[in-house]
Chains A and B, each alone.
Chain A
Amino acid sequence: MHDTAIIGEGRGANGEGRSAGGDHRSGEGRSTSGEGRSANGEGRRLDIEEIRRDFPILGTTVYGYPLVYLDNAATTQKPLAVLTAMDEYYKTINANVHRGVHYLSQRATDACEASRVTVADFINARHAYEVIFTRGTTESINLIAACFGKKFLQEGDSILVSGMEHHSNIVPWQMICEEKKATLKVIPIDENGELILGGLDAMLKSGVKLVAFNYVSNALGTINPAKEIIAAAHRYGIPVLLDAAQAIQHMEVDVQDLDVDFLAFSSHKLYGPTGIGILYGKEEWLNQLPPYQGGGEMIKTVTFEKTTYNDLPFKFEAGTPDMAGMIGLGAAVRYVQELGLANIQHAENELMTYALDVLREIKGFRLIGNGDAEHRAGVISFLVGNIHPFDMGEILDQQGIAVRTGHHCAQPIMDRYCIPGTVRASLAVYNTPAEMDRLAAGIRKAVTLLG
């Protein structure tokens, strides 16, 4: 076991933080987190119906139809373990963290720091203090764009992104590039929705200071060869930020194995609460960066002449943090760990294969992106005949099926395919083959109306 797990056990041993996190609840009726972890490797078959019972919202109806929730790439639903942990936090230990001497403040601090350790363990970070709490993926990327840009970017330099990025991994870089008179370069994508890496070395050699790309595309579901791109960038001493917003809930993400320098993801796409996310950064990089925002918590000493900044991770966490969010995220991570990401990935791959099979039987169905279920995660982006994605989305909605339509905040991809947008059905661990049948039937009904 790696360092962080040992830290994790140490923290857990004080008991208080853990119980506030509510992990004993999420463990009820299922294997303990330890067993879940070992089942990870062995491959345990998940009982999806049992998992569905953990998510109260999945039992609701929309316009009289049982809800089919297929907008998981936008946000996932929350299990009771998360809801209870946050509820318990407010009911029993709510207090401001890191500065109070009193009992509640200590307990709240322990609980929040236990969540940091849980996340560090989850992504296999070497140290818990390499895990920074932010408001989400977008803020994590903005933080690095602002702080890295301020310190390292100069006129004539460039930042390299990919052609399948979410706007949140384009615009922050454009903003800092504009400020520093640097340029934004783009790794092109092919018709299959995959990155064209032939010219990568040549691009890296031409003044690139940082590479930023997504592990999994939110618009196409493509899994990018992260390890390969990171290794290529490192050959030239260039750090890499990986946007794992659409990967973290579908597959195991190990920052040490990837050797990634910065990693960003959101809690709310990982069955956790909204408003909180993670920035992981290697200690040696984070220590070189200036602080992001000024305020309380991030300082050591303040005088009107000079302020000295706090150590990691607090240097990047100005102000009172989202305590309930941290505890909710911790509970969400433990929930996912108990299921086992390898098991989740296996179940979702099976479901993806089934979904593609049933959808391909629909006349005029056109998948946007790679058709190979093994090389995609979470997202099925499609069009049917000449039906406008908005029309399709609305008719599906009328049948209680929630999908996303439009450009998915990735306009450059839609321009690449010369389409106005797509219909996007995105999967989570709690989705079932029966729901894929409902989706297919819903699409057929839309075709009858609109075709």
Chain B
Amino acid sequence: MTIQESQDEIIGDFEVFGDWMDKYEHIIQLGKELPIIDSQYKTEDNLIKGCQSKVWLHAEYRDGKLYFTADSDAAITKGLVSMVIQVLSGHTPEQITNSEIYFIDAIGLRNHLSSTRSNGLLSMLKQIKLYALAYQAKSLQSKS
């Protein structure tokens, strides 16, 4: 699935929820399914800055693609992190740097999340893009 298709799928999933309780229940459930970061990577270095609740993000580069695992100490944050990873993990650095993340607005999450939380979410997206850029630069370097 492309990054765009994953986002459209999430948007479709959220359309069925009538009230906020169901929506949050779903977000929290997604958090429980998050590929948990290996404890050795749950380090200060992997802590995302800008989150008031803690988020750890680990990136791995295999066969030209970036894979992410993560964790958070807060359940709703963890759910958000899970969706971002579902969308962006397993794609090439180029695809990730060129992607536009629109599903968060589309499912009405930014309105429903406190500003500190959405800032944290944005910080994590920024961090993922930074990883992608770094690997993109690295692969360009090795090719030349």
Chain B residues near A420 (CB, 8 Å)? 53-54, 73
Any chain B CB within 8 A of the CB of A388?
Answer: yes
Looking at the complex, which one of A63, A390, A406, A445 makes contact with B76 (CB distance below 8 Å)?
A390
A309-325 with Cβ < 8 A to chain B: none
Min CB–CB distance A341 → chain B (angstroms): 33
Chain A residues near B86 (CB, 8 Å)? none
Any chain B CB within 8 A of the CB of A418?
Answer: no
Judge whether B52 and A406 touch: CB under 8 Å: yes
Min CB–CB distance B42 → chain A (angstroms): 15
Judge whether A393 and B114 touch: CB under 8 Å: yes
Judge whether A449 and B25 touch: CB under 8 Å: yes
Of A32-40, A171-179, A193-201, A394-402, the one with at least 4 CB within 8 A of chain B: A394-402
Any chain A CB within 8 A of the CB of B91?
Answer: no
B106-138 with Cβ < 8 A to chain A: 112-114, 116-117
Judge whether A391 and B25 touch: CB under 8 Å: no
Looking at the complex, which one of B20, B73, B77, B116 makes contact with A398 (CB distance below 8 Å)?
B20
Any chain A CB within 8 A of the CB of B21?
Answer: yes
Min CB–CB distance B84 → chain A (angstroms): 17
Any chain B CB within 8 A of the CB of A450?
Answer: yes
State whether A391 and B20 are in contact (beta carbons under 8 Å apart), knowing that A406-B52, A449-B25 are contacts in the complex. Answer: no
Min CB–CB distance B110 → chain A (angstroms): 13
Looking at the complex, which one of B21, B76, B116 makes contact with A391 (CB distance below 8 Å)?
B76
Contact with B along A380-411 (1 / 0, CB 8 A): 00000001101101110110000000100000
Query: Given the complex of chains A and B, what is the CA–CA distance between A445 and B52 in angstroms?
Result: 23
Looking at the complex, which one of A63, A393, A450 makes contact with B20 (CB distance below 8 Å)?
A63
B7-59 with Cβ < 8 A to chain A: 20-21, 24-25, 28, 52-54
Main secondary structure of the interface of B (DSSP, over half): helix
Judge whether B28 and A450 touch: CB under 8 Å: yes
Chain A residues near B21 (CB, 8 Å)? 398, 445, 449
Min CB–CB distance B31 → chain A (angstroms): 10
Query: Given the complex of chains A and B, what is the CA–CA distance between A387 and B73 in angstroms?
Result: 9
Query: Given the complex of chains A and B, what is the CA–CA distance between A391 and B78 in angstroms?
Result: 10
State whether A388 and B24 are in contact (beta carbons under 8 Å apart), knowing that A394-B114, A397-B114, A406-B52 are contacts in the complex. Answer: no
Chain B residues near A450 (CB, 8 Å)? 28, 75
> How many interface residues does chain B have, given as a range?
10 to 19
State whether A398 and B112 are in contact (beta carbons under 8 Å apart), knowing that A390-B52, A390-B53 are contacts in the complex. Answer: yes
| Residue count of chain A within 8 Å CB distance of chain B | 15
Chain B residues near A387 (CB, 8 Å)? 75
State whether A390 and B28 are in contact (beta carbons under 8 Å apart), knowing that A398-B20, A406-B52, A420-B73 are contacts in the complex. Answer: no
Min CB–CB distance B143 → chain A (angstroms): 43
Judge whether B117 and A394 touch: CB under 8 Å: yes
Chain B residues near A63 (CB, 8 Å)? 20
Judge whether A388 and B28 touch: CB under 8 Å: no
Min CB–CB distance A66 → chain B (angstroms): 16
Query: Given the complex of chains A and B, what is the CA–CA distance between A45 and B24 in angstroms?
Result: 42
Min CB–CB distance B59 → chain A (angstroms): 24
Query: Given the complex of chains A and B, what is the CA–CA distance between A420 and B54 in angstroms?
Result: 9
Chain B residues near A394 (CB, 8 Å)? 76, 113-114, 117
Min CB–CB distance B105 → chain A (angstroms): 18
Chain A residues near B113 (CB, 8 Å)? 394
Judge whether B53 and A388 touch: CB under 8 Å: yes
State whether A390 and B77 are in contact (beta carbons under 8 Å apart), knowing that A395-B24, A398-B24 are contacts in the complex. Answer: yes
> Which residues of B pack against A, CB within 8 Å?
20-21, 24-25, 28, 52-54, 73-77, 112-114, 116-117
> Which residues of A pack against B, CB within 8 Å?
63, 387-388, 390-391, 393-395, 397-398, 406, 420, 445, 449-450
With A390-B76, A394-B117 known, 9 other A-B pairs at CB within 8 A are: A390-B74, A390-B77, A391-B74, A391-B77, A398-B20, A406-B52, A445-B21, A449-B21, A449-B24
The 8 closest A-B pairs by CB, nearest first: A388-B74, A390-B53, A390-B74, A391-B75, A398-B20, A391-B74, A391-B76, A450-B75
A/B interface sample: 19 pairs, CB < 8 A: A63-B20, A388-B53, A388-B73, A388-B74, A388-B75, A388-B77, A390-B52, A390-B76, A391-B75, A391-B76, A391-B77, A393-B114, A394-B114, A394-B117, A397-B114, A420-B54, A445-B21, A450-B28, A450-B75
